[in-house]
Amino acid sequence: MEKKITITEAYLYLPIRAGQKEELFEVFAEEDGKVYKVFEFMIPVDQTEKERYSYDYLARFAVKQFTDKTLTLKGEVPETFMREVVNASEKEQESLARPSIHFTAERGWINDPNGLFYQDGVYHLYFQYNPFNTSWQNMSWGHAVSRDLLHWKQEESVLYPDEHGMMFSGCALINERRKLGLQEKAVLYFYTAAAGDTPWSKGKEFTQRIAYSTDGGYTLTKLETPYLDTICRENRDPKIFRHEESGAYIMALWLEENDFALLRSKNLADWEMTDRFTLEKAWECPDLVRLSGQDGSTKWMFWSADGFYYWGEFDGYHFTTDGVQHKAYFNTVPYAAQIYTGVADRVISVSWFRLTFEGRLYTGAMGIPREFSYQEMDGETILIQRPVRELTELLDEIPSKELTIEKIENVECICYNIKDGEVLLFQLEQEYGEGIPTGDGAATKSDIPFEAEFGGVFLTYHPDSGELTVDGNVYSIGTKGKGLSVLIDDKVAEIWETDGTTMGAFEVKDAVDRVVFAGTEYNRLMLYRIRSNTQ
């Protein structure tokens, strides 16, 4: 099926029926008599013959660069599908229930955070994005902004697949030294062009490429050159920083299997590989970062996608490590975290949460940004990953008068009803003592298990052993911590030892409107709500 459409408005909207068989959809432009492809996507299409095409939502992509030109649309789609494709400015769609402070896309699929940078009071979050379905495909870069790292506004997407492949993960770098002939405040983006799996890029291999922005990150322009040619077939996920001591830019890159590389460049155009090493079980989304200890010392840490991290030394050329693997997460929901650039005094990390949001028209979420440091505990160096201070600044303690004591199955329980859109944080200190007056009994031993139920999820925590059970799944989160913190935001639950030594995340079965704490002996149970958006 083919359709010609003259562009007069900012966006093309495609009707999306999530979960259907995907078909190739192409967009062509013409200039000086030459026809060329400008977009290629795989779109889920309902091929059922109907008088009118039925869809779940309209997915948009920007075409304002083709204003007053005629585009040709081609695809294995029914005529009714093409009738629903429109060129328009903003089109209102029904609001969806969603978390308040965990970023989710308006609609579609998201995964890895990309290109994180801070400039002029704004935090920019880019992310792997498929606007055209609720499953992985069409890897593009979506974009969102925030002033407090908690409340996000989705902006126009900035990178789409092209003849070099899909837009896989990468990083951002503020161009303070005017490299590549670009201005000082320009933002440079290094990303993987993942070739070979799309018709447009068939026969090519993965390369590392560059885009830039001169308007603060809202519009990106791709450079054809320079680019880093293929080292291994699917090498990807460049993460770049400036190493002042050796006077060069350093790129960490995943190569293949459990192999990583470090590369050096003076000009961001010409790169030399100075190190290749293997880290057992680690792969994808590498980072090399110097962290500060709570005693004022510093230490280098190498990071991989699963939250595996390795301590070592870096001299500008080689990373030397004992190879001992440490784990930042106690389960596999957090993944592919990336660290912000442009933040001078903090190391801020954001991870992707692999959540399905069943029944909704979006998939995946971003975790609460966390500040990285480290601490020596019992002769071991431990990564500390506390939620950013902006979260603490928005905490309001919930007074005991808003709690109720109810008898449920002959057990007196503390209950709290969550209001629409409210984010709840509750904390249990490892040693119980005086606190919220919730009943006549007062437990004083740390080995009493803590039990809670919310949104159909049952949680049990044993402070003496550090054993956490969530819906029958048992996790050992250790005993180094100073209690348990649980943050509930719609269908997302983040759980961490309060001192930040480990964390994990879960998808709640139902949006939470009530929390029940079994028993009334939790005299050190503290409840907080997160104040709403103040931006």
User: 77 and 198: one domain?
Assistant: no
Which residue in 364, 361, 363 sits closest to 351, CA to CA?
364
Using omega within 30 degrees of 0 as the cis cutoff, is the peptide bond preceding 463 cis? Answer: no
Mean pLDDT per 10-residue run, the chain (535 residues)? Answer: 97 97 98 95 95 97 97 97 96 95 98 98 98 98 98 98 98 97 96 97 97 98 98 98 98 98 98 97 97 94 98 98 96 98 95 97 98 93 97 95 93 93 89 39 57 95 90 87 89 95 95 90 84 66
Contact at 8 Å (CB) between 173 and 195?
no
> CA Rg, the chain, in Å?
25
User: Which of the following is catalytic: 46, 56, 112, 489?
Assistant: 112
| H or E segment and range at residue 81 | helix 79-84
With b for 16 or more beta-carbon neighbours within 10 A and e for fewer, the 257-272 pattern comes to eebbbbbbbeebeebe
Domain end: 391, 409, 433, which one? 391
Any domain includes 177: yes
User: 384 and 510: one domain?
Assistant: no
Domain end: 347, 373, 391, which one? 391
Any domain includes 176: yes
Contact at 8 Å (CB) between 277 and 259?
yes
User: 191 and 335: one domain?
Assistant: yes
Domain end: 361, 391, 421, which one? 391
| H or E segment and range at residue 84 | helix 79-84
Q: Give the pLDDT score at 519.
A: 80
User: 369 and 496: one domain?
Assistant: no
Any domain includes 233: yes
Domain that holds residue 461: 395-530
Which residue in 453, 473, 465 sits closest to 519, CA to CA?
453
CA distances in angstroms from 471 to 457, 460, 461, 475, listed in the order given: 6, 9, 12, 11
The distance of Cα 446 from the centroid of its chain, to the nearest Å, equals 35
With b for 16 or more beta-carbon neighbours within 10 A and e for fewer, the 14-42 pattern comes to bbbbbebebbbbbbbbeeeeeeeeebbbb
Contact at 8 Å (CB) between 351 and 336?
yes
Domain of 510: which CATH number? 2.60.120
Q: Which residue has the tokens 């907080």?
A: 528
Q: Give the pLDDT score at 449.
A: 85
- Catalytic residue list contains 112: yes
User: 332 and 408: one domain?
Assistant: no
Q: Give the pLDDT score at 436.
A: 36
Any domain includes 362: yes
Any domain includes 113: yes
User: 377 and 459: one domain?
Assistant: no
Any domain includes 57: yes
User: 353 and 405: one domain?
Assistant: no
> What would the two tokens of residue 27 be?
């967009």
Q: Give the pLDDT score at 481.
A: 63
User: 117 and 10: one domain?
Assistant: no
Any domain includes 47: yes
Q: Give the pLDDT score at 497.
A: 93
User: 80 and 129: one domain?
Assistant: no
User: 469 and 325: one domain?
Assistant: no
User: 278 and 189: one domain?
Assistant: yes
Q: Which residue has the tokens 């920007």?
A: 62
User: 121 and 264: one domain?
Assistant: yes
Residue 133's φ and ψ, nearest 5 degrees, are -170, 170
What is the number of structural domains in the chain? 3
Any domain includes 535: no
| H or E segment and range at residue 390 | helix 389-393
